[in-house]
Each structure stands twice: as C-alpha cells, then as structure tokens.
Structure 1
Amino acid sequence: MEAVAEGLWLLAERFEEGGCIPQAVKCLEALCQSQVSFLPILEVKTRLRIATILLNHTDNVTHAKNHLERAQLLLKQIPSCFELKCRAYSLLSRCYHLVGTIPPQKQTLKKALDLATGAGEGESSMLWACNFNLQLANALTTEGDFRGAIKVLECGVSLASKVGRSDLEMVFSTSILHVHLMQWEDTAVVQEAVAKCDEIWDSMPSAQRKACHGLHLYNELLHTFYTLRICDYKQALVHVEALDATLKVVSKSEAKTLPAEQLSGSRKRQSQGQSEGESNSGIRNSNAIFSTNFELGPAPLGGEWLPKGAVSILVDLMAVMCARPKGYFDKCNKRLSSGISQAQDELQKLGITTSATEVDLQHWAIWVSGVYLILLLQLIENKVIIELTRTEFSEAQKSLVQMLDWFNRFPTILQGCETTIHMLVGHYAHSLGCFSEAATHFQEAARLTESKGLQAMCQIYAAISYICIGDADSSSLALDLIGPIYRSVDSFVGLREKTAVWFAAGVVQMKQHNLQEARSRLSNGLTITHKQWGNIQLVSQYLMVLGSSALALHDTGQALDILKSSLTLAKTLHDVPTQIGVLSELTALYRELGDPSKELENSEYEGKRSDDLKNRIKMVQASDSHLSILKFGV
C-alpha cells in the first residue's frame, strides 16, 4: 500500500506543478478516504501535504486546518516522528493566525515548544524551537503584549546563538527592534536595538548577507522607520535606495528562475482576462502564505513578515515620506502612483472591488487585506498632504472622498486610521479657511490617538487654527494648548513636534506683540527645521513670520531678504496661501520704504494670487462632497 500512496503523491505533485490544484487535492484526499487501511504515518504525511497545497494555492484555510487537526490526532498515537509533529504544529499555528484565533494559536505554540525543548539540544530541535518562538512572539505582539513578545524573542536570540547561526540571531534581533519601534518607550533602548542589528548584520559573511534577501529587506525597512521617526531624512533615503536596489536584484533573480512555460502560461492567462492570482483551475491564489512572502530565515524557521507585494508598496511609501518634506513632489507622485496601483491590484486579487465591504470578507482575508488597505490609506494620506500643499484643493477633495469611502466600507480593519483622517480633514478645512471646523477635527484626532507625539502635533495644529480665528477666546484656547507642549518640548523624540511647537509659540508671541521673544523662538525653530529636517514648507512659513517680525521692528533690510526667500520657496511648492501672506508683508514693506511703484506692482500680484485662491476655494465648496468631509466623525 505504501507504493500506492507514493504513486498518488507523485501524481498530486504533477497536478500541482501544472496548476491543477483541485485534482491534486482530490488525489491526496482519495488516500485519506480510502476503505483500505493505511499506516497512520502515511495518512499524516498526506494530510500535511494537503494542508500545504491548500495554504499555498487556495484561500481555504479552514479546510487546511481540519486536515492538520486530524493529523495531530493521528500523531498522538505515534511515539516518534518529531519532524512531522513539529511541521504539523507550525502549519496549524499559521492557520490559527490567518483566521485570527490567537488563543488557540498560543496554546498550539506552547505545546510545540514543549516538544522541541524536550527533544534535547540537537540542531533540528533548536531550529524548530526558533520557529515556534518567532510565531509566538508574533501572536503576543498581535495581542499587544509587547514585553512578553520581547522576552520570547530574546529566548530566540539565545537559541540561535547556541546553534551558531548568525542569520537566525539577526531574525530575532530585527524582530526585537520591530517591537521596540511599535512600542517606543525609551529612545536609548531603541538605539541599542538598532546598534545590535547593525553589529550582527556586519558580522555575517558577505555571501550570507547577499543570500538573505528577505532579512535584508526587513532590516532596511526597520532602519528606515527608525530614521524617519527621528527625522534623519538623509539617512532614511540611504536605506530607501538600498531597498530599491535589493528589490531589483530579487526581481531579476525571480525572472531568471521562472520557467519559460510558466511565463508563457502567465501571459496566456492575462490575455484571457485572468488575474495573476488565478491558476488554470480557476482557484484564486490570494492567500499563498508561503509562496508570496519574503522568508526571513532558513527552514524550518521560515517566518514571514509581509507579502512581497506589500513590501514593494511599503518601499514606495517610505520613498514618498523621504522626498515630501524636501518638496520633491514629482518624485513623490511617481511613487504614489506606483504604490496605489500595486495596492489596488493586490486588493483586486483578494476580491476587494469598489463595491466590496467588510462583511463580504472571509475571516482569513481580514489580515491579508488589512495590510494592503492600511498601506493604501497611508499612500492616499501623503497624496492629500501634497495636494493641499500645492493648493490643489479639488484633487485633495477627491482623494479625501476616496479615503472616506474605503474607511466607511472597512471601518473595523481601518479603525486605526481614524486619527489620520481627522487630521487630514483638519488640514483640508484649515486650507479652505474653515478654521473652527479645522480645530474641531484636530482636537478629535488628539483625543483618539494614544501617541504622545501625535497628540502634540494635533494640538499644535488646533492651536494654529484657533490663532487664525483671531478673537480673544480663540487666542486663549491656542495658548492653553501650546503652553504645556512648549514646556515639555525636550521630551519629544523627533523634530516634528519640536519645530512645530516653536513655530506656534513664536506666532503666539507675535500676536501678543512680544516681538523679540517671538524672533528668538522662531529663529531657534528655523535653524533646526532648515539644518536637520529640511521641511521647506515649514521653512517658508518660518521665514514669512520672521520677516513680519523684522518689519514690525522696522528692520526693513532684513525683512526684505527674509520675505523674498520665503516667497521663492512658496512658489517652488505652489503654496498659494503662503505666497499671499508673504506678498501682503512685502506690500507693507514697500509702503514703509516709500516705493509706490513696487508697492503697486506687488499689490497687484497679491490681488491676482488672492483671486486665484478664492476661485479654488469656491470651486471646492460648491462640491457636494465638501460638507460631508467636514462632518466626518463629528
């Protein structure tokens, strides 16, 4: 009977290679359903094979889980078969992860760890223990137990060290860094985690580093997150360039290894209107958790972080975040177009169309689709910010409508994006002169988030909106918001909060006619913004307010130079509101200098810019979408 089983295994393998997945599964299930009695170990191997095929080629996670649970029952009757037992535990854990049932996943992994640690200190048992530790850490992180996750990952580092595998040490060290970045409590601890990753990566032989594409991408992405968090955009760009280079190498490598007939079949499916996520049999390959992810480590560790498509999209997003503060909007738009297109394609493969809603999703698809939905909204977020900066209000409105549509259709998956949406609506309202509505949305965003830094930014934005309202009560509210943040400015990690609060505090001092104090705060903020961050829109706005303060102090020479610099930057960004603010100050400056011709010329240009802005605002406010955007969540 063993020969019969091996024959069916071989036939199933050929069906799988040919893309005939239903036939492959039926071949294997014929063994399990046979009236003839097979040895339990043959049935176990068959069920494990069925589960692997189902996970690799279909979205039928529940069916795979059923086979694995049956295999486990059979394995209990067999005293040996360590490798099969470990493989069954690992696959079953992944099934639980996909369907979102974390408690049974943790229970399965703890049993698996007991098995692996009880098998001695052989290399195989140690590697399986690494596998289970990594999966358990992911499960704990999903539950928000960050300390528990780090403890488990540190055990993994110890195991990897005992095996003498620096690549496995790197897997666990990068995972520890990932958890610290998610739960940033102590900057020194995060820096230590970054340094540890650098130390281990540099100690690995060059050939080994080149072979670990998935691990390299993971490490570089985490370093990019870290450098963006501390606003080191120059170093972040270095990491993005490394990511681009690695993705190109991987793409070329995969193109070379892909069989010619597979390429031909792919083209044929495309010509027939089938998506890349469909096999010849018509079964959607939208899950494929093993074949579509960059592996972090060698078997049996495996380990996956994000699908390959998501990694590519994430690199596009990181590139945008590096380029946007510098005003490189053409580069940003290319990356945004690429990332949004990829995200929409991946969602389409998952069956998520423009009419699909959260209730239409199968349970296993929630995590996979959630990755792409969140990335899509983050890309749209950056698109909105760029469009508002460039005074392209109509385009920003369209993007916001699109974002709200996604949020309304997938409210549970995108719940974490609600703060971001309120912030964007606040920026949208502020740009259109709806300062009261803007302040309301910024305050709501601050209420929703648990991030200290994000709360501070929302409160600063709200304060600036209150300042723009201009009455005494609003100015008092602005001062109440800015004061506590300004007093604790040194406690913030990045530069965003510091430069924003110095700007807002300087504007408040200007309103209170404390001109020297205003200039001092604004000068400090400008120096850091220009030298360390390089956000040219904020630099332009700093210069505009500093120019205004210089004019108020009758330092016309300095005011003229500063305001001209501000105007140049604002024109580069197509930032019409800032241009108008600068032109207004220049008109007053030329009046004080007694230069009527330049005053008239400047005033006329200011009028044209003001008319342009009014027309843009009027067009957006006439849209049916305008009020629905402002009413979001309030």
Structure 2
Amino acid sequence: MASSQDAWYLSLLGLAEHFRTSSPPMIKLCVQCLQAVFNFKPPQRVEARTHLQLGNILLSHTKNVDLAKNHLEQAVPTAALTYKQSLSSWLLSQVINSFDDVKFEAASVLAELYEQQNQISLSKPILRKAIELSQHNVYWHCRLIFQLAQIHATEKDYTLASSLLGVGVDYAYISNASYTRVLFLLSKGMLLLIDKKLQEVQPVLNQAGHVIETWTGAVYQKEYLKVYFLVLQVCHYLMAGQVKSVKPCLKQLQQSIQTIMATDDVFMGPSAGDMFLWMPKEHLYVLVYLVTVMHSMQAGYMEKAQKYTDKALMQIEKLKIVDNKPILSVFQLMLLEHIIMCRLVMGNKTQALQEISSASALCKQCPRLLETHGPQLHTLLGLYAMSMNCMEAAEAQFIAALSTSRERELWTFANLNLAIVYLRGKREADFNALHDRINPESLPSHSHSLRAAAYYVQGLQAFFQGRYNEAKRYLRETLKMANAEDLNRLTSCSLVLLGHIFLSLGNSRESMNMVTPAMQLASKIPDVHVQLWASAILKDLHRICGDSQRENEAYQRHVNFSQMLLSDHFQASQMSDHNLILWTQGNFPINTSNSPNTSTELL
C-alpha cells in the first residue's frame, strides 16, 4: 500500500513539473497536482519541499500572496517552533538534518516575502536562526548573510550590515571560497562609501584589489570581480569630485565590461560557496553606462552624457521586457537625474521638464524610490524653477530637499543653489544666514568640485556687491581647482564672470582674454547660458575696440541664443508638468489650474 502511495505522489510531482515547464506554463494544473500530493501523506521532506514549491510558484505566477505565505508557513507539527505558533516549511525541515536546501531556501523566501510586505521585524529572526543553523553549508550560510546584511542596509543600519559582511569575509576565507570572500569585501566597501566613511573605504578596496590582482582562479570570475572593484573606485573618485583623476579607472572599467559581455558566464570554482553574482552582467553593462554619464555630466561633456544616457535607457527598456527587476528602475531614475541637469545646462528646459515628469512617474510607481530619491527630485525641480525664473518655487524646492536629505553632497549642492537664488533676489540677509553651510574653507562635503563651486558662489556674491578684487581672488581659486580636475563648466562660468569684472573695471584687454576662452569652452559643453552671457560681453568689447563687424556678429549670436531660450521657456511654461514645481510634499499635483508665474528675464 505504501509503495502505491509513493507512486501516486511521485507521479503527481512529475506531472506538476510537466505543467510548470510547458510552453506556455499551465500554472493552475501545476498547483492542483502539487496540492493533491498532500492527500497521499508523503514523507516529511517531500511535504516540506512541496509546500516550498507551491509557495514559490504562487509568488511567481499569481497575486495570491497570502496563500503563498500560508504554504511557506504551513507544515506538520514540530517542537522546533520559535516566535511563531503557525508552522512553516523551514521550521519543519529543521528536524530533517540532511534536507538543507528546503530548510534554508524556505527561510530565505519567507524572509524576503515578509520584507516585501514591510514586516522586516519578522524577516530578521528567521534569517538569524537560519544563519546559525547553516554554518556547515557554505553556499547557504553566505547567501543568508548577504540577505540579512541587505535588510540592515535598507534600514540604513550600515554599521551592523558592515559587521555582518565582515563575518562573511572571515567565513568565506576559512571555507576556501576565495571569490565570495572578495564579494563580501567589495560589498563592505560599497556600504562604507554609502555611509561616507571615506577613510575606511580605501583599506578595504586595497585589500580586495590585491586579491583580484593576484587571482589564480577562473578568468571570468577575476574579470567580474574587477568590474565590481572598478565601479566602486570610480564612484569613490566621483563622490570626491575628482573628475580628472578618475579617468584611468573609468577606462579600465569600460574595457573590463566589454570583456565580460563577450564571455559566457562560467562560475566554476573549487568551493560550493563561490556561486554568487553581485548583479547579472546585463545589469552591470547598464551600470557602467550610468557611471560614465555621471562622469560626463560632472566633467561638462553634456553631449557625451546624452549619448550614453540614450544607450543606457534603451538597454533598460529591453531588460524590463524580459524581467522588470527593481534595480532597473533605480538605474533609470539615476540616469534621468543626471540628464535633466545636462538639459538645463544646454538650455533645453522643455525636455528637462519631460524627463522630470518621467522621474516623477517612476517615483509614483514605487513609493520606496520616492523615499530614497525624493530629495534629488526636489533639487532638480529647484534647478528647473531657477531656469524659469520662478525664484519662490526654487527656494521652496531647495528647502524641501534640505529638510528631507542628510546626504552631505546633495545637502551642500542644494545650499549652494539656494545661495544663488538669494543673490539673484538681492536677499543679502538670507544669503549671509547660509554662510557657514557654503563656506569653502569649512564645507560639510569633502567633494573637490563642490568646494570649487563654493568659491565661485563667494565670488559671485562679491561681484554683486561691487567688491571686484575680492571676487577675483575667489574666482581664481575656483579656476585653479577646476583646472586641476577638468571641471569644464566651472571653468567657463568663472572665466566669463572674470571677464565681466574686468569689463566693469574698464580693462577691456584682460576681459577679452577671459571671455574668449569662456565662449570656446561653453560652445564645447555646450552651455547656452554662458554663451548668452559671453556674447553680450563680447558685443560690448568689440564696440569699445571699434570693431563693428565683430560687434554685429556677437550681437547676432546673443539674439539667437536669447530667442532660442525664450522660445523654449515659453514652451515649458505651457506644459501641465510645469506645475510640478508647486509640489513640496504629499501627492504630486495634477494639472493644477493656478500655474506659477514665470518671468522671461534672462540672467
């Protein structure tokens, strides 16, 4: 009789697998077969595995999350219960010592499900218990440590997450899982970067880099680890505003990703624990595009940033069709954030607004994205509002960004732009109130580029107050720092402002020496606003020199830039998305009737 029952449930399991792998899959029939298995009272390990299969299938192919959770939790009575009175497949399998895969996979899936339902307090005990039980199983012990560290990182408990990853480094070392040891090291380095513990990052990256350089294992594993390592090195440089210094690392990264994309995935190693990916190579490919865009935008290569953004967004759309992973939306949002800033520099407010709308739509779809990128969105809206001369809205957006962000670089960037809003509004007292936040000598951010920008803002204030010698000192400091790291936009802005100062002082020759290279550099970026400003100064300089032909040419250029900007300004002001500048909290405004006033005055 027992063998007859075995035959029945084994047949049902085989039939269920047939229905699952059919094209298209017949999920309803698969689920019915698996549910029928329980009627034949199979062995405990089979019952546990069947509950796990049902939970996974229901999660993957249906919206019945409660039933999926029920299968993950339900099993036969066992004395191994912890904090929960209901039974679970992973608790059941604790009494089956040889059945590790069910035990730990069920723990992992159940913890992930709780996390998705914002019940993280239920996820962590399951994972801690599973980590404790899995020390003899290298693969699952490492995987569960990664999963628990990720949860702590999501909660911004970076210290605890880093500590867990440190445990993983040591465990992988004694388990001879060399590849996974480097993954743990690099993941720890990434969290230290996120937590801005820049002094602690480099030793960790140096340790990982040494292991990678002396790697004797599989070539594909080495190249994969190298990409992860170089991504972190590039991000480290970019966070420090060192645009020129990062170039060798970025070039190596671009070469390494080409090698990986041309190679089949082969993760063969001596240890069962060496079976992990940071992310699939198709996602890495997009990530390399993203850091290239970040570099191009900081360096002032706007058209290059635009080209790589287009390629990356196209790649993301293709990947989303196959499997819409949440990380793809994060990449998409970060690409939009950078290209929006490029559009504003290039004088294309209409397209910037369309992309702000796309970024808002992504945040609407995923509340977590809005929570993590809300300050960036407020900052972008502040920059757009400034470009439209909606100074009240710009101020409100920057204040909203400052009130919702503790990230030093963003906080400093928002304060610097808020300071410019106050300067343009002749609000000296409000500007002075920001002094400690934007003082280049005591800036909260350690970014080279932001410190250079802080000197520029100080120079701008001195210029507005007619303190020309002081303004020149600040601007020369900006130029020195900008030239050291190829910060082209800051260089062009500083040169044109110095040209304006020398013109005001009656020194037309020195003014020409500043404005001419400013115009050339601004044309390469291209920065339409600096070109507009420079063409106005050049018109006056040529008039002073009595060169009417060049005066007329400069005047015509100025008119062309003005007309282009005014046309784009009007078009953006008529779009319903323009009302996004009214949003500072809560739901996004939709077609608000009281559109903010915009001015066509151009700086």
TM-score with structure 2 length normalisation? 0.83
Does the Cα contact within 8 Å between 2:378 and 2:400 map onto a contact in 1? yes
* Deviation for aligned residue 1:127: 4.5
Q: Which whole-Å CA distance do the structure 2 matches of 1:177 and 1:535 have between them? A: 27
Give the direction of change, closer, same or farther, for the CA distance of 1:181–1:136 in structure 2 (3 Å limit). same
Which of 289, 301, 307 aligns to 1:334? It is: 307
Larger RCO, structures 1/2 (Cα 8 Å, 6+ apart): 1
Give the direction of change, closer, same or farther, for the CA distance of 1:441–1:87 in structure 2 (3 Å limit). closer
Residue pairs, 1:134-149, within 5 angstroms: 134-149=146-161
Does the Cα contact within 8 Å between 2:177 and 2:273 map onto a contact in 1? no
1:72 aligns with 2:82: no
1:593-616 CA-partner distances (Å, limit 9, x unpaired): 455554454334433433333333
Partner of 2:377: 421
Partner of 1:283: none
1:485 aligns with 2:419: no
Q: Which whole-Å CA distance do the structure 2 matches of 1:13 and 1:409 have between them? A: 34
Give the direction of change, closer, same or farther, for the CA distance of 1:536–1:486 in structure 2 (3 Å limit). same
* Deviation for aligned residue 1:203: 3.2
1:570-608 CA-partner distances (Å, limit 9, x unpaired): 222343321221122223333444555544543344334
Give the direction of change, closer, same or farther, for the CA distance of 1:152–1:604 in structure 2 (3 Å limit). closer
Does the Cα contact within 8 Å between 1:482 and 1:505 map onto a contact in 2? no
Partner of 2:589: none
Partner of 1:175: 187
* Deviation for aligned residue 1:6: 5.0
Which of 411, 428, 440 aligns to 1:475? It is: 428
Residue pairs, 1:80-479, within 5 angstroms: 81-82=99-100, 84-117=102-135, 124-184=136-196, 186-205=197-216, 207-211=217-221, 215-234=225-244, 236=246, 238-240=248-250, 242-245=252-255, 247-253=257-263, 299=272, 305-306=278-279, 310-344=283-317, 368-369=325-326, 371-408=327-364, 410-411=366-367, 413-469=369-425, 471=426, 474-479=427-432
* Deviation for aligned residue 1:72: 2.8
Does the Cα contact within 8 Å between 1:48 and 1:88 map onto a contact in 2? yes
* Range with bigger deviation, 192-201 or 588-597: 588-597
Q: Which whole-Å CA distance do the structure 1 matches of 2:163 and 2:440 have between them? A: 36
Partner of 2:447: 494
Where 2:241 maps in the other structure, the secondary structure is: coil
Give the direction of change, closer, same or farther, for the CA distance of 1:564–1:304 in structure 2 (3 Å limit). same
Aligned identity (percent) is 23
Partner of 2:484: 531
Alpha-carbon RMSD: 3.4
Give the direction of change, closer, same or farther, for the CA distance of 1:405–1:94 in structure 2 (3 Å limit). closer
Give the direction of change, closer, same or farther, for the CA distance of 1:583–1:161 in structure 2 (3 Å limit). same
* Deviation for aligned residue 1:134: 1.9
Give the direction of change, closer, same or farther, for the CA distance of 1:346–1:623 in structure 2 (3 Å limit). same
1:409-450 CA-partner distances (Å, limit 9, x unpaired): 544542322222222122212223333432332233222211
* Deviation for aligned residue 1:346: 5.3
Partner of 2:45: 41
Q: Which whole-Å CA distance do the structure 1 matches of 2:13 and 2:250 have between them? A: 44
Does the Cα contact within 8 Å between 2:52 and 2:71 map onto a contact in 1? yes
Give the direction of change, closer, same or farther, for the CA distance of 1:44–1:235 in structure 2 (3 Å limit). farther
Residue pairs, 1:561-580, within 5 angstroms: 561-580=513-532
Does the Cα contact within 8 Å between 1:479 and 1:508 map onto a contact in 2? no
Give the direction of change, closer, same or farther, for the CA distance of 1:12–1:619 in structure 2 (3 Å limit). closer
Does the Cα contact within 8 Å between 1:9 and 1:27 map onto a contact in 2? no
Where 2:134 maps in the other structure, the secondary structure is: helix
Where does the alignment leave 5 or more consecutive residues of structure 1 unmatched?
Answer: 118-123, 258-293, 352-367
Does the Cα contact within 8 Å between 2:153 and 2:161 map onto a contact in 1? yes
Q: Which whole-Å CA distance do the structure 2 matches of 1:22 and 1:401 have between them? A: 38
Q: Which whole-Å CA distance do the structure 2 matches of 1:203 and 1:170 have between them? A: 12
* Deviation for aligned residue 1:527: 1.7
* Range with bigger deviation, 47-56 or 315-324: 47-56
Where does the alignment leave 5 or more consecutive residues of structure 2 unmatched?
Answer: 76-88, 586-603
* Deviation for aligned residue 1:54: 5.6
Give the direction of change, closer, same or farther, for the CA distance of 1:418–1:316 in structure 2 (3 Å limit). same
* Range with bigger deviation, 230-239 or 159-168: 230-239
Partner of 1:22: 27
Q: Which whole-Å CA distance do the structure 1 matches of 2:22 and 2:270 have between them? A: 28
Where 1:140 maps in the other structure, the secondary structure is: helix
| Count of aligned pairs | 566
